[in-house]
Amino acid sequence: MNVRQLLDDRLGEAFEQVTKECAPALVSPASRPEYGDYQANGAMAVAKRLKTNPRKLAEDVVGASDLTGIVAETEIAGPGFINLTLSQEFLKGTLARADLVTKVPRRESIVIDYSSPNLAKTLHVGHLRSTIIGDATARTLEILGHNVWRQNHIGDWGTPFGMLVTYLDEQGQSSDDLGNLDHFYALASERFEKDPTFAKAARKFVVDLQSGKEGAITRWKQFIELSTSHMQRIYEQLNISLNPDHTRGESAYNNDLAQVVTDLDEAGLLSLSDGAKCVFLKEFTGKEGKPLPMLVQKSDGGYLYHTTDLAALRYRHKVLNADRILYFTDGRQNLHFRMLFAVAHASEFVPKSTKLEHHPFGKLLDSNGRPFRSRDGSTIPLDHLVEEAFERARAIVQSKNSNLGDREFDEVVRAIAIGAIKYADLSKNRLHDYTFDWDSMLAFEGNTAPYLQYAFARIQSLFSRGNLSSKSYRADIVPENENERNLAIQLCRFQETLELVGREGMPHHLCAYLYELTSRFMRFYETCPVLDAPEKDRKSRLALCARTAKTLETGLNCLGIAVVTRM
RNA sequence: GCGCCUGUAGCUCAACGGGAUAGAGUAUCGGCCUUCUAAGCCGAGGGUUGAAGGUUCGAGUCCUUCCAGGCGCGCCA
């Protein structure tokens, strides 16, 4: 249940009744504990507009509101804040619900375009943020009940593939070099440059491919399959929920491109400029105020990524019935997406009611503020990154103790290694550049994935010590002291946090939530005995622990991070 | 030149349609393990939110100018 929304609705009605106009209640979690659990900030804004006393207005709103069974205490503070304290019965009732997450009332069809690597190159750190953040958003929207269409818009078409396939043919189908695609690519380009016969064959292959010659298509497909399996292996290592069903690459739109250009022409948007076909929109200007074109067809007849993106957009609208389409790419593509969305709407390829959202993110930097690369200046392949995380996590888990068996040891290492990489990224506001630092993400202190995983493991340990199961444990939660209550309140805020993440495509809100939840749990756990508590307290506290474990597990699952029962 | 993004504690980061005294972690210093995992908990110090104006009862958040860094601006994606 979304408590924040519930309060906002109830107070919103009262605001409307009192002011006779639509005035938002502006409910948010209280900024300080002494202000209660939630606060409503709407009174000041409306009072200003209506030129009345905000404190008086706040009082009237509280008087007119129906908060029975929800709020135990209201207080008007400062210039007109309404501070709300939830009632014990409401907490108890909310936490007694079996469902942790309620499905949103309006189920939307949501397309999420993320990861989208180019298959001519190996997956590297440049793909990390899009893949991780997009995946967390997809999982979150899905758990909220939306119909999520993951779209992996891979680069699987174009001249590099001519070179690669020709080289693959030459080397034999089973070439293991493809595991390191960049190396393979480098070898292929070298041949391309130095061997005219090879270059000729590669060029001919591209022509054959584009004209749809069967043999060429078959070999191209074989290459794509090899490269895709490599990509898929990395997704599995990283616990990314993308699978081949989600792949719809550039090549999938080849047959639509001519039609896109024709339709743009029919919509009266197409211009010919220096032999290229393009769309000029008056809101976009470039150097010296000259109109900025969006090129959709080159003078040699070839199409561009704008064209493909328009075709994809149309597919997502027409076939997938998208209500929202989200793109997770780095900020440099900002102009491209602004133009793309403007053209899509101007041409009516996509109706204005379909929300088109670019969710950009900053660069990946090293601790010196430079782009994150390996020592020799080359980009870091993701499988190397994962391997290093495993090695580092293995060393740490080994040093920590453990009577873990081999299998459990491996499981813990994996959860920690992958969790560390993902959480470090996900916990930051994606708009900013992000400093990648092994030591801080694997320090396991403070706001890191292992801290959350550790809390989960402690709870599991508690339940196994009591011969109980955290999954099935049921009892009323009746918070008696401050630490119990603080934990209970935080548990009640899970739904509103998920909805916030879904709305904004910003998983760091969920990380902040889970971290706060965990610190509150740790404080509670430090001060309140559970198994040895008197029967009445024991039940309620066990239920608090069980609910915390379930929330942690579900929350981390939304982030694509695993929990472990021991560590 | 035009446009977009970023600037918060030594470091890494929060602050959700403007809200109350700008919060965490880390590092530093000081406490807490015969008792449910110390990968933990408690406490201390640490800030002119890049700068200056403005709007407002109220500005890290909005507006203007400036400074610094990054990125983008026609046939790659």
Task: Return the pLDDT at A94.
Answer: 97
pLDDT tens string A39-93:
999 999 999 889 899 999 999 999 999 999 999 999 999 999 999 999 999 999 9
CA dihedral A211, A213, A214, A219 (to 10 degrees): -90
CA of A379 to C1' of B46 (A): 37
Task: Return the pLDDT at A382.
Answer: 94
Residue A492: both structure tokens together: 């009640």
pLDDT tens string A151-160:
999 999 988 8
pLDDT: which is higher, A566 or A442: A566
Residue A138 confidence (pLDDT) above 90:
yes
| CA Rg value for chain A | 28
Task: Return the pLDDT at A377.
Answer: 85
pLDDT tens string A453-468:
999 999 999 999 999 9
Burial degree of A472 (CB within 10 A; 0-12, 13-18, 19+): exposed
Q: With beta carbons less than 8 A apart as the criterion, state whether A157 and A220 touch.
A: no
Mean pLDDT estimate for chain A: 94
CA of A45 to C1' of B18 (A): 10
- Kindly indicate the confidence band of residue A184, based on its pLDDT and cuts at 50, 70 and 90: confident
Give the residue whose CA sits closest to B18 at C1': A45
Q: With beta carbons less than 8 A apart as the criterion, state whether A130 and A361 touch.
A: yes
CA of A319 to C1' of B70 (A): 39
CA of A519 to C1' of B46 (A): 22
Domain annotation for chain A: domains and CATH numbers: 3-86 (3.30.1360.70), 159-248 (no CATH), 382-558 (1.10.730.10)
Give the residue whose CA sits closest to B23 at C1': A31
Q: Give A197's contacts (C-beta < 8 A, 6+ positions apart).
A: none
Task: Return the pLDDT at A177.
Answer: 63
Compute the Cα dihedral for A417, A420, A423, A425 and give only its sign: negative
Percent of chain A with pLDDT over 90: 84
Q: What type of residue is A509?
A: H
Nucleotide nearest A520, from its CA to each C1': B41
Residue A179 confidence (pLDDT) above 80:
no
- Report chain B positions within 7 A of protein CB atoms: 1-7, 12-17, 19-21, 24-27, 35-42, 56-58, 70-77
Burial degree of A288 (CB within 10 A; 0-12, 13-18, 19+): exposed
- Kindly indicate the confidence band of residue A24, based on its pLDDT and cuts at 50, 70 and 90: very high
Task: Return the pLDDT at A193.
Answer: 87
| Residue-by-residue DSSP string for A293-353 | EEEEE-TTS-B-HHHHHHHHHHHHHHTT--SEEEEEEEGGGHHHHHHHHHHHHHTTSS-TT
Phi, psi of A282 (to 5 degrees): -70, -20
DSSP classification of residue A373: -
Cα separation, A199 vs A190, whole angstroms: 10
Phi, psi of A395 (to 5 degrees): -60, -40
Asked whether the ipTM of the predicted complex exceeds the cut of 0.95, the reply is yes
Task: Return the pLDDT at A401.
Answer: 66
Nucleotide nearest A338, from its CA to each C1': B4
Cα separation, A380 vs A304, whole angstroms: 28
Helix, strand, or coil here: A566?
Answer: coil
Nucleotide nearest A116, from its CA to each C1': B77
CA of A369 to C1' of B69 (A): 11
Cα separation, A62 vs A434, whole angstroms: 44
Cα separation, A488 vs A465, whole angstroms: 23
Task: Return the pLDDT at A485.
Answer: 97
CA of A525 to C1' of B35 (A): 13
Q: What type of residue is A354?
A: T
Residue A95 confidence (pLDDT) above 70:
yes
Q: With beta carbons less than 8 A apart as the criterion, state whether A446 and A376 touch.
A: no
CA angle A64, A67, A72 (to 5 degrees): 120
Task: Return the pLDDT at A402.
Answer: 67
- Kindly indicate the confidence band of residue A175, based on its pLDDT and cuts at 50, 70 and 90: low
Task: Return the pLDDT at A176.
Answer: 62
Highest mean pLDDT among A206-220, A367-381, A536-550: A536-550
Task: Return the pLDDT at A533.
Answer: 95
- Kindly indicate the confidence band of residue A495, based on its pLDDT and cuts at 50, 70 and 90: very high
Residue A173 confidence (pLDDT) above 70:
no
pLDDT: which is higher, A87 or A367: A87
CA of A502 to C1' of B22 (A): 27
pLDDT tens string A322-350:
999 999 999 999 999 999 999 999 999 99
Percent of chain A with pLDDT over 70: 98
Cα separation, A135 vs A418, whole angstroms: 14
Cα separation, A438 vs A420, whole angstroms: 9
Residue A70: both structure tokens together: 């929800």
Helix runs in A20-112, H state only: 42-50, 54-64, 88-96
